[in-house]
Amino acid sequence: MKGFQSRSDTSGGSFLPEEYLHRKAEVRSIVISFGLFCIVITGIVGAFFVTNREWGTVKVRQEQINREYAVETAKIEQLKALEKQKVEMIDKAEVTTALIEKVPRSILLAELINRMPKELTLNSLELKSTRLDAKPVKIDKRASATSSNRAKASKGGSKSKVPPKEVELEKPKVRPPSYEFKLEIIGLAATDDEIANYQTTLRNCPLLRNVELVFTSAVKVDDVQVRKFRIEASIRTDIDARNIEPLQVPRLPARPTLANGPTITDASEFDPSNQDPTVPNSPVFTGASGRSKE
Amino acid sequence: MPTALRQAIFFALLIALPVASYFFVFKPQNTQIEKAKKEIEHKQAMLEKLKQATAQADDLARQNEQIGKAIESIEARLPDGKQMDEVLRQVSSLTSKSGLRVPAFKRSDKVLTAGTAMEQPLNIEITGNFDGFYQFLLDLEQLPRITRIPDFSIVRSDEVDGEMMTKLTLSIYYEGSNKDAK
């Protein structure tokens, strides 16, 4: 600070008047001070402009994001409506598709017959269904009634024109019909091994569950000792067998809706001695002693 | 006022000016900017999620359309009424084609509701061989109208070799009102 006021004595003497030197030093200090002031002010103003510009950019971006957010929020509403529609349509589809038989009886029969061992015949085959309809659900709307409804009702008082039943109960939801199927197979076999084999192959059948052998007993048919048996099973309701290829059926042409797999159409191609479960075997509902109709 | 003091005050003011502007102008503004930036960042993250979610809207609309068409195709297979004459004609045609005989064809008195449709069970007795019955089932499943066989009983005939007697319940479905149900 001293440097602004006077020159150093060590720099040598001066013939200029002291007052002049003093004023000169003052002017210099004023100029320097003004310069510093200008630098500081410029710095502050510059920083202000930079910050302000950044704020402006951020504000613009914020507005843009807000606009996009509003647009997407509107889309979310649309999405929610679509999801609600989908749930309704799936419910309706469930009710409608429940009418279609998931296990066509032709496929079921093909599976039962073509899994039979060689020396086994069926005497009777019974399929019984039990309908398992759930009771329609009645929703108590009183609990979910809005406050405005309550307010309206209270304003109306005893003169309210809304019938109480309409307020209380919603239209019951339509439920798809559901069934439980039980299968009972009674037949004759040469040995218990054949019966056990048949039960094993039935257990492997994807259409059946709970395959149980109820009894086997010795009976005489045409003076021949054979084993009579009874097998019970349930049909699975959780599978769709419409598009599966049943085990080959030799005596009839392929199902028109199914894939064109190799099918034996000529009876001469049929080899009854072949015991591979994927290959057809003896016909069903023939005599116990092996009296084939073919 | 001595020059030294004046200059000291000036320098103090010179320093106070940026300090004051920092505390009174820049700091609040920077705080505001930081806050806005954080909000932008948060909303951007949300926006990404929203965009991902809303991208499914087209797929969802397409799925709904497909489900709708599937429902329509099934409903198209439901006639307006029972059309018993048509069912009898079809069953008779299919059985004769398969070499079967129909000793009994009886309409059940019990009409049931089946979802949005009505179900009319028919009790049918069929005699013939297994091949014919199997062919009958194959043809029945190809009928345009929706049918089901909830119950059947196949028993080997003791009288004729290779013959069997089948009692089955054939359920036919149609569009009707609940008034039909008993």
What's the rounded Cα separation, in Å, for the pair B85 and B94?
14
Compute the distance between CA of residue B70 and CA of residue B64 in angstroms, rounded to an integer: 10
Q: What's the CA gap between B122 and A252, in Å, rounded?
A: 27
Q: How far is CA B146 from the centre of its chain?
A: 19
Predicted pLDDT of residue B117: 86
* Stretch 29-68 of chain A: residues touching chain B, C-beta under 8 Å: 29, 33, 36-37, 40-41, 43-44, 47-48, 51-52, 54-55, 58-59, 61-62, 65-66, 68
Cα angle value B111/B116/B120 (rounded, 5°): 20
Say yes or no to pLDDT of B128 above 80. yes
Alpha carbon distance, N-terminus to C-terminus of chain A? 130
Residues 6+ apart with CB under 8 A from A37: B14
> Given an 8 Å threshold on Cβ–Cβ distance, is B54 in contact with A72?
yes
pLDDT tens-digit readout, B68-94: 998 888 888 888 887 888 888 999 999
User: What residues of B are in contact with residue A51 (Cβ under 8 Å)?
Assistant: 25-26, 29-30, 33
The answer to whether residues B134 and A249 touch, using CB atoms and an 8 Å cutoff, is yes
Evaluate whether B102 touches B91 at the Cβ level (below 8 Å).
yes
- What single-letter amino acid sits at A293? K
Question: Chain B: residue nearest A52 by CA?
Answer: B29
**Letter string b/e over residues A242-267, b meaning 16 or more CB atoms within 10 A of that residue's CB:** eebebbbbbbbebbeeeeeeeebeee
Which structure tokens are listed for B90?
Answer: 């079809």
Give pLDDT tens digits along chain A (294 positions): 444 444 555 445 678 888 898 889 889 988 999 999 999 999 999 999 999 999 999 999 999 999 998 888 888 888 889 999 999 988 888 888 888 888 999 999 999 998 998 888 899 999 999 988 755 444 444 544 444 444 444 444 444 444 544 444 556 677 778 889 999 999 999 999 999 999 999 999 989 999 999 999 999 888 889 999 999 999 998 888 877 766 654 544 444 443 333 333 333 333 433 433 333 333 444 433 333 333
Question: Phi/psi of residue B152, each to 5°?
Answer: -155, 155
Which residues have CB under 8 Å from A266's CB, separation 6+?
none
Is A104 touching B (CB cutoff 8 A)?
A: yes
Which member of A33, A82, A110 has the closest CB to residue B10?
Answer: A33
Model ipTM value: 0.71
Of the candidates A135, A144, A132, A145, the one whose C-alpha atom is nearest the C-alpha of residue A172 is: A135
CA torsion through residues B43, B48, B53, B59, sign: positive
**Can you list the alpha helix ranges (DSSP code H) found in chain A?**
2-5, 18-97, 105-114, 141-144, 147-156, 164-168, 192-203
Q: Which two tokens stand for residue B46?
A: 């949300």
Instruction: Write the CB contacts of A211 (distance below 8 Å, at least 6 apart in sequence).
Output: A199, A202, A203, A205, A231, A232, A233
Helix (H, G, I), strand (E, B) or coil at A70: helix
Contact B64 A96 (CB under 8 A): no
Distance from CA of B64 to the nearest CA of A (A): 6
Q: ∠ CA(B7), CA(B12), CA(B14), 5° rounding? A: 90
If contacts are CB pairs under 8 Å, which of residues 175-194 in chain A contact chain B? 175-177, 179, 181
Tokens standing for residue A272 = 């009854």
Q: What single DSSP character describes residue B128?
A: E
Residues of A in contact with B173 (CB under 8 A): 99
